[in-house]
Amino acid sequence: MKNYPVHTLQLSNGETLAYRTAGSNGDVIVLVHGNMSSSVHFQTTMEQLENEYQVYAVDLRGFGDSSYHHELNCLRDFAEDIEEFVKLLDLRSFTILGWSTGGGIVLELAADMPERIKKVILLDSVGVKGFPLFKKGSDYQPILTQMHDTKASIALDPVQVLPILNAYANRDKATLKAIWNAVIYNLRQPSEEDYELYLEAMLKQRNLVDVDYSLLKFNITHDASLSSPGSGRIDLISAPIVILQGLKDYVVPYDQAVEMKKYFGEQAKLITFEEAGHSVITDDLDLFIKTLKENL
């Protein structure tokens, strides 16, 4: 994997956003990573695109080499950072891709910047009504009638959150690797060298509970979810949307992509990767790049 140097931009809110860039010709594409990751996870993608496109991959606030001075309470908080980022770089017409949590962030950004974003690409994205996070019983199974509702409650979740927080605190790469192999790299793992870089990037995350809370509360539709009444901001999104979804995704169920397509109707196109999970970039990079280029 080619490693790209880190650049930084100072935002008006006091935060510093780190980013990597590749290519100097062609259309502009901005890459927004998901939870437990950073721009490092997009470096193989950047390497494949740099001869034909201008590529920017950002570290979201609290991830990677970006700062984390202020907590985040919704995905739109992340989007507002990216909004200032693209304005500072004077990116006026670009495609934006969001992976997983990043998908929700780019949807919020597309609602706020319809004049600049010409296409939205959602890669194994959180659904338009967020990601449920249920409380757990004494048997560690989800209580389907009880949703977490505070950050304090989320932080104590013994299955989905606390083990990751402990792994971060203890720099426990073995636990992180086991989690990713079970639900993200369940079909194919990256090389040992690349995996080590990804693990180091994961350990830089400082905002896990903020992200989980934001995912829980995310809902851009007019229909209430179990944890949010819905903002209706879906109406503000005018760019065409391409939904790329792995059929064997253990993180975001495929039916979330189907639901998203239903909400956006003819505005969106759903493309299914039959033999991919939550990381088609790892499962089949060639197929991902070919499909991406065909839809840019």
**Per-run averaged pLDDT (10 residues), the chain, 296 residues:** 97 98 96 98 98 98 98 98 98 97 98 98 98 95 94 97 98 98 97 98 98 98 95 98 98 97 98 98 98 96
For 48, other C-beta atoms within 10 Å of its C-beta total 21
d(CA 192, CA 34): 21
Q: Checking DSSP bridges between strand 54-58 and strand 16-22, what pairing results, if any?
A: antiparallel
C-alpha–C-alpha distance, residues 222 and 237, integer Å: 14
Backbone φ, ψ for residue 122 (5° rounding): -110, 115
Mapped onto helix, strand or coil, the DSSP state of residue 251 is: coil
Please report which helix (H) or strand (E) contains residue 54, including its range. strand 54-58
How buried is 3 (Cβ within 10 angstroms: 0-12 exposed, 13-18 middle, 19+ buried)?
exposed
pLDDT of residue 294: 97
Phi-psi region of 270 (alpha: psi -120 to 50; beta: other; left: phi over 0): beta
pTM, rounded to two decimals: 0.97
- The mean pLDDT value of the chain amounts to 97
Read off the amino acid at residue 170: N
Strand-pair category, 7-10 with 28-32: unpaired
Q: In this structure, are strands 142-147 and 134-136 parallel, antiparallel, or unpaired?
A: antiparallel
Q: 198-251 pLDDT, tens per residue?
A: 999 999 999 999 999 999 999 999 999 989 999 999 999 999 999 999 999 999
Neighbouring C-beta atoms of residue 110, cutoff 10 Å: 24
pLDDT of residue 131: 95
Q: Please, are residues 99 and 36 in contact by the beta-carbon 8 Å criterion?
A: no
Q: Which residues contact 224 (CB under 8 A, 6 or more apart)?
A: 230
Which is it for the CA torsion 296, 37, 268, 88, positive or negative?
negative
How far from 98 is each of 77, 181, 215, CA to CA, in Å? 15, 21, 14
Domain spans, the chain = 7-294
User: Among the residues of the chain, which ranges form H helices?
Assistant: 43-49, 75-88, 101-112, 151-155, 162-169, 173-183, 192-202, 208-217, 254-264, 280-283, 285-294
| Cβ atoms of residues 239 and 268 within 8 Å | no
User: Is CATH 3.40.50.1820 what the domain over 7-294 is classified as, yes or no?
Assistant: yes
